[in-house]
Amino acid sequence: QLQLQESGPGLVKPSETLSLTCAVFGGSITDSRYYWGWIRQSPGKGLEWVASIYYYSGSTHYNPSLKSRATISVDTSKSQFSLRLMSVTASDAALYYCARVAGDYYYAMDVWGQGITVTVSS
Amino acid sequence: DIQMTQSPSTLSASIGDKVTITCRASQSISDWLAWYQKKPGKAPNLLIYKASALEGGVPSRFSGSGSGTEFTLTISSLQIDDFAIYYCQHYNPYSWTFGQGTKVEI
């Protein structure tokens, strides 16, 4: 049973860089059937896709609303993938989830981490 | 960009009711649609993919239908565990778009 676990600082200062990591347990991060992604939920708002990566091809994809501030990457040696978000503002404060994206499931997100809350404040 | 619009935003229902949530796409998306259930303090849970395929372990009272621009999630007999927020989500290579959510409340 695959499990995902987010980690990272819960507090980031405005204009600084947010760095989050998602550890993958019980499965292979290099499995060609899956993408890996980040989704966030701002307070009182709905779900917003942030970024996704396909290790097999190295392709990365980002929500255009982030205006090139985001970088997603995979570290196979640690079986984890990461999100970096530069120049954060208060609007980046959210509950961030990592998820597995299943190609066999029409690219639905079939496994999720429990989420990590990120606050942006000086 | 394709927009996903859910209705209603909030739905009040009772145990045993049949509940239907609608998700409309701003243009045809074939059957590239998933549904998730989200409860406070918990991660979203995949219910339906490919518009109508039930994810393993999801109770059979949940069903999805539709194609093109209009989709529905139906709960045939609402249970206490079903009070939550439901999101539709579209995949369009290579971006994922969620609807704004429908809250099912008592």
Q: What pLDDT, in 10s, does the model give residues A1-31?
A: 999 999 999 999 999 999 999 999 999 999 9
The answer to whether the beta carbons of residues B55 and B36 sit under 8 Å apart is: no
Q: Residue A75 has which token pair?
A: 């570290």
What does the DSSP 8-state code read for residue B66?
E
CB proximity A66 to B under 8 Å = no
Which parts of chain B register pLDDT below 50? none
CB proximity A61 to B under 8 Å = yes
The answer to whether the beta carbons of residues A50 and A58 sit under 8 Å apart is: no
The span from the CA of A77 to the CA of A90, in Å, is 33
B38/A112 Cβ within 8 A: no
Mutation site, B32, B96, B98, B103, interface A, largest A CB count within 10 A: B96
The span from the CA of B8 to the CA of B101, in Å, is 9
The span from the CA of B99 to the CA of B8, in Å, is 11
A47/B89 Cβ within 8 A: yes
**Amino acid in position A102:** A
Q: What is the pLDDT of residues A83-116, one digit of tens each?
A: 999 999 999 999 999 999 998 999 999 999 999 9
Q: Chains A, B: CB contacts under 8 A, how many? A: 71
